[in-house]
Amino acid sequence: MTTGPRHRLSRLSWPHTLRARLTAGLVVLLAVSCAAVGVAAVVELDGFLTGRLDQQLRGVGERFPASLEHDGRLPSDHDGDEYADTRRQATGTFGARLLGDTVTNAAVVGSTSGTGDLSAPLSTGDRRELAAVPADGRGHTVDLSSLGAYRLMAVGGKDGDVLITGLPMEPVEATLHRLELVAAIVFGAALAITGVAGALWVRWSLRPLSRVAATAARVSELPLASGEVALPPRAPETDPRSEVGRVADAFNRMLGHVEDALTKRHASEERLRSFAADASHELRTPVASVRGHAELALLHPGDVPPKVVRALERIAAESARMGEMVDDLLLLARLDAGRPLERRPVDLTRLVLDAVTDAQAAGPGHRWTLELSEEPVRVTGDGHRLQQVLANLLANARLHTPAGTTVTVSLEYEESEGPDKATAALKVHDDGPGVPPEVQPGVFERFTRADRRRTEGPGGGAGLGLSIVAAVAEAHGGGVTLDSSPGSTTFTVRLPASSESS
């Protein structure tokens, strides 16, 4: 459980945009380079200064520790020439004499020139460290607890003893610390300046890509599936030799192809709508004429063979069905063309009562129930088309469910966000077998049937009823949805409620 917050923090702290990633990568690379340069400079300077200390130790030699052989007493200026320079060592010079593994004498040159402190405090650990220094005439760094870090050089004496000379490492360490501080300040400032300048440079370099993204975002918000669409201006042209330029050029060419495809599709849909409208309009007259002649023939006095009567009845029935189909196609064509519907106050409750009464007469084998609110539900729209919506939904429930099915029609207001935003919700629910899952995605498309092999007989319509429901609902500023599973199917039509009712 404790790893969750850390995981979220690491995920949030890592940049996600390309601009941030490039800037962060630039800063990280520069930080690694600065760190490498700083470490190399410190290591090189450390080696150089340590080498200089070793040269000083070789120059000093063993004169100062050799003077400690005289019973721990420093010689005076008028002693022999052999010890004339013993008291002229640099301040802090360390000297020690070892006999075997025992430190017999140790001293440190004090601040007063030519004097030494013969009682240099050495702990037991310090004495062990001194005894461990090899007498090879080379410098070794030893950390003495009482004196600090020293660079020591041990050589063999004349009496079988070991003489150790040392210089403090403090000047070297101070120089290195100062270099580290200066490097940290300089490199930190360089990283900050580079980060800001790099961010501005990357932002300027990726500006064409941002324009491409903005254009793509505008295109994604366009209703490409409806009518004629005007695409936004193309992304600005940039250097085609750059990656961003190639992306912009490819994107512009893609928009050109999309625009051409949308134009051709729109033109094709317009031709199809025009054909459907013209064909429907032209078919109304001959269909009505065929139906009229069939009915007239049935009214002709005299004996008519039964087969002829049956043929005339079928001609009249099919002519009536074809006339209804032509009317439906013509209505869809008008709605596709954006023809406005009538806008008047409509008492939707009254329409529901009338539609259910008609459905009971047409389907006495079904159980019809009503669930209405106490107050009438009113909308603004075309009463005739809304009545057609109700008739189609109830006919769909009656024709596609077996006898004994319960069909429940409910009508109520639904409150939505904002003032005066009430919605009239009409629901038609049945407990029949349900709509097959493979049909549900296109149930509101034209010429869609639950059983595509059925073309006539009860329920054998042209598959335009639900498409008319969807088109009329959308023309009123609403919509229709389906929720279906075995034993429960609900069609819900939502329409903006009338301002008087809200």
Query: pLDDT tens digits for 155-179?
Result: 888 778 888 888 999 999 899 999 9
DSSP secondary structure letter of residue 119: B
Residue 258: name the closest of 234, 240, 236 by CA: 234
Quote the percentage of the chain above a pLDDT of 90: 18
Question: Within this chain, do residues 357 and 456 fall inside the same structural domain, yes or no?
Answer: yes
What does each C-alpha distance from 323 to 289, 427, 448, 459 come to in angstroms? 11, 29, 19, 17
User: Quick one: pLDDT band at residue 72, thresholds 50, 70, 90?
Assistant: very low
Question: Is the confidence at residue 367, as pLDDT, over 90?
Answer: yes
User: Is 262 among the domain residues?
Assistant: yes
User: Is 212 among the domain residues?
Assistant: no
In DSSP terms, 155 is beta-bridged to 163
**First and final C-alpha spacing in the chain:** 51
CA dist., res. 77 & res. 93, Å (int)? 18
CATH number, position 416 = 3.30.565.10
User: Is 9 among the domain residues?
Assistant: no
The pLDDT value given to residue 10: 47
Question: Within this chain, do residues 140 and 195 fall inside the same structural domain, yes or no?
Answer: no
Question: Within this chain, do residues 460 and 378 fall inside the same structural domain, yes or no?
Answer: yes
Structure confidence by residue, pLDDT tens digits, 425-440: 999 999 989 888 888 8
Question: Is the confidence at residue 104, as pLDDT, over 90?
Answer: no
Q: Which of 280, 312, 339 is the last residue of a domain?
A: 339
How large is the average pLDDT for residues 83-95?
65
> What is the sign of the dihedral through the CA atoms of 80, 81, 85 and 86?
negative
Question: Within this chain, do residues 112 and 179 fall inside the same structural domain, yes or no?
Answer: no
In DSSP terms, 95 is beta-bridged to 107, 165
The per-residue pLDDT of the chain, averaged, comes to: 79
Question: Within this chain, do residues 129 and 257 fall inside the same structural domain, yes or no?
Answer: no
Beta strands in 229-361 (DSSP E): 344-347
User: Is 285 among the domain residues?
Assistant: yes
Question: Within this chain, do residues 45 and 192 fall inside the same structural domain, yes or no?
Answer: yes
The pLDDT value given to residue 79: 43
| Amino acid at position 454, single letter | R
How large is the average pLDDT for residues 46-68?
83
Residue 484: name the closest of 421, 447, 454, 441 by CA: 441
Question: Within this chain, do residues 361 and 407 fall inside the same structural domain, yes or no?
Answer: yes
Question: Is the confidence at residue 406, as pLDDT, over 90?
Answer: yes
User: Quick one: pLDDT band at residue 350, thresholds 50, 70, 90?
Assistant: very high
The pLDDT value given to residue 15: 62
Question: Within this chain, do residues 419 and 270 fall inside the same structural domain, yes or no?
Answer: no
More confident residue, 173 or 5: 173
- 469-473 long-range Cβ contacts below 8 angstroms, 24+ apart: 469/389, 469/392, 469/393, 469/444, 469/493, 470/444, 471/331, 471/332, 471/335, 471/336, 472/335, 472/341, 472/382, 472/385, 472/386, 472/388, 472/389, 473/389
CA dist., res. 287 & res. 183, Å (int)? 96
Question: Is the confidence at residue 497, as pLDDT, over 80?
Answer: yes
User: Is 3 among the domain residues?
Assistant: no
How large is the average pLDDT for residues 290-311?
77
Question: Within this chain, do residues 356 and 466 fall inside the same structural domain, yes or no?
Answer: yes
Most confident stretch, 250-254, 328-332, 389-393: 389-393
Question: Within this chain, do residues 485 and 445 fall inside the same structural domain, yes or no?
Answer: yes
Domain count, the chain: 4
CB atoms within 10 A of CB 146: 11
- Find the domain containing 97 and state its range: 62-168
The pLDDT value given to residue 256: 78
What does each C-alpha distance from 457 to 365, 399, 433 come to in angstroms? 18, 10, 19
User: Is 248 among the domain residues?
Assistant: yes
Full strand arrangement of the beta sheet holding 148-156: 116-117, 102-109, 94-99, 162-168, 148-156, 139-144
Question: Is the confidence at residue 234, as pLDDT, over 80?
Answer: no
User: Quick one: pLDDT band at residue 80, thresholds 50, 70, 90?
Assistant: very low
Question: Within this chain, do residues 375 and 328 fall inside the same structural domain, yes or no?
Answer: no
User: Is 307 among the domain residues?
Assistant: yes
Structure confidence by residue, pLDDT tens digits, 320-346: 877 777 777 777 777 776 677 788 899
Question: Is the confidence at residue 113, as pLDDT, over 80?
Answer: no
Question: Within this chain, do residues 149 and 93 fall inside the same structural domain, yes or no?
Answer: yes
Residue 204: name the closest of 17, 19, 16, 15 by CA: 19
CATH number, position 123 = 3.30.450
Place of tokens 């690491």: 10
How large is the average pLDDT for residues 380-397?
90
Question: Is the confidence at residue 188, as pLDDT, over 80?
Answer: yes
Angle in degrees, CA 429, 360, 390, rounded to 5: 50
Structure confidence by residue, pLDDT tens digits, 438-452: 888 888 887 776 554
User: Is 99 among the domain residues?
Assistant: yes
